[in-house]
Every structure is written in C-alpha cells, then in structure tokens.
Structure 1
Amino acid sequence: MPYLCKMQLESGKKIILFDGVCNLCNGAVQWVIERDKDDVFRFAPLQSAIAEDLLKERGVDAATMDSIIFIDPGVAYFIKSDAALEIARNIKGYGWLPAIFGRTPRSVRDSIYDLIAKNRYRLFGKKDQCMIPNAELSAKFLQTS
C-alpha cells in the first residue's frame, strides 16, 4: 500500500526528516523555514510514523538512521552532508554552498557531519519531546490524518 502521506503532499514539495528532539536540528529546521520563501519544504521528525514509513519505502532502516534526510519525492533521497547540500541547493541565494562544499569528497564531508552528529546532544542539548509547530507553521509539517 502506498505511503499515506503521499496523498497530502502537494506537488513540487520536498521533505526534510530531522531529529525532532535535537536542539541543533530544530534550529536548522527553523533556519530553513525562515529562508523557504517559495514554500518548497515539508518537515517530519525522524521519531514520527511518517518518517518511519518514508524510510521504509526507500529501504532505509529507521532504527539506525539518525541523520538529516532530504527527500525529493519521485527523484531521490539524500543523507548526511549530501542532504545538507541538497537543501541549500533548493534555497534561493544559497546555491554557492553546494558549489563550494560539493567539491570536498563525500567521505571528508560525512566524517565532519558524523563528528557533529555524534556530539550534537552534548554540544547543543536535547528536548524531552519533538517540537510542536505553532498554528502558522503546522502546514509545513507532515502529519497523519
């Protein structure tokens, strides 16, 4: 059976899955929302059933995934530093980031990403529960009906 969220995802929207209890990740989501002038992105915490289903659909084990994931439905999905670069590529005015950092070998980029990810709770803190968007932002977050 196809994923339930596909029915509610508008055409042309791209999905960012993030660690919903991580302060760094929540800050990054807020940063993207502020710059998403074309309303391209939709979000879901990795701890949600929606994220679990989206990962399962792509053959990714949700239990082992703690990276940011960028999904361009029907096209591809990206993890770790590739996800960050693809997100930047989709924000007007930030295409220079992937142009510069995309030249760095993925193994180097992902090693830096992994180092930050491994220490993100210690460095930036952790919430007790996933962020609950206010009424204005709730349309940007994928939810089951």
Structure 2
Amino acid sequence: MDPGGALIRFDGGCVLCRGWVRFLLARDRAGRLRFAPLEAPGDTVVVETAAGTFRRSDAVLEVLKRLPAPWRWAGLLRALPRPWRDAVYDAVARNRHRWFGRDESCPVLPPEGRDRFTGGPRG
C-alpha cells in the first residue's frame, strides 16, 4: 500500500458515511484514498494504512491528515484523550441512522472516482 494512502471501509447503507466518502473524494486530489464497503456494517469506520488499522476517532483523524490544509489540521485533535474523542464518535455512530437516514440502494458513483472503489473485503 502507498505509504500516504489509505483504504477506508465504510457502511455503504449509511447516508452519513456516503456523505463522508463524497467529502473525501472531493478533497483527495492526489487520489491516494481508496474505498470499500465493510464486511459487516457496524458502528465504526475502519481505515487500513501501511502503518496499521485504525478505528473510531483514530480512523477519522488518520484520514483527515492525508488531506490538504485546512482539513489535515484536525490532527491536532489527537491531543485530546482518546476516550473523549471516541465518546463523541460513538454518540454520532449510535444515532447516525436516526439523524441522517439509511439508504440500501446502490449509489451512482461519479466517473472520475469509480476506480477508487473496490467491490468488497480485502480487495
């Protein structure tokens, strides 16, 4: 895996998660982020990098640090204790379907981003 790249595994039926992917696609001009659905959707996003696998708030911060400024500055949030960060992450994860909705339909991918999606687990 590209040392600056990451594979982001997300809940494809979650409207918030799909919005997160669109946000990342629009800002990752270098094209180093890749995307795949989670094997078993849960309340976390999983990010795989050359440095390891990240979950919850660590995953979000790991992805944001790969974007241009000002988004990479969110890495400063690592100074906060992980239990605090994860508590906020968990609250959003628990309520995301109620707040943002759920959509099991297959999304239409923009042509310029289709090559950055993999059909399933590990690849």
Shorter-chain TM-score above 0.5: yes
**Which residue does the alignment assign to 2:37?**
45
For residues 97-116 of structure 1, the aligned pairs below 5 Å read: 97-99=74-76, 101-116=77-92
**Pairs aligned (count):** 119
The structure 2 residue matched to 1:86, chosen from 49, 56, 62, is 62
Structure 2, unpaired ranges of 5+: none
**Which residue does the alignment assign to 1:126?**
102
Contact 1:15-1:41 at 8 Å conserved across structures: yes
Contact 2:2-2:32 at 8 Å conserved across structures: no
Deviations 1:82-127 (A, max 9, x none): 000011111111221111x111111011011101100000000010
Structure 1, unpaired ranges of 5+: 1-9, 47-51, 53-61
**Which residue does the alignment assign to 1:28?**
20
Identity rate, percent: 34
CA RMSD of aligned residues (A): 2.0
Find the structure with the greater CA-based Rg: 1
Would the alpha carbon gap of residues 130 and 69 (structure 1) be closer, same or farther in structure 2, given more than 3 Å must change?
farther
Q: Which 4+ stretches in 1 moved above 4 angstroms? A: none
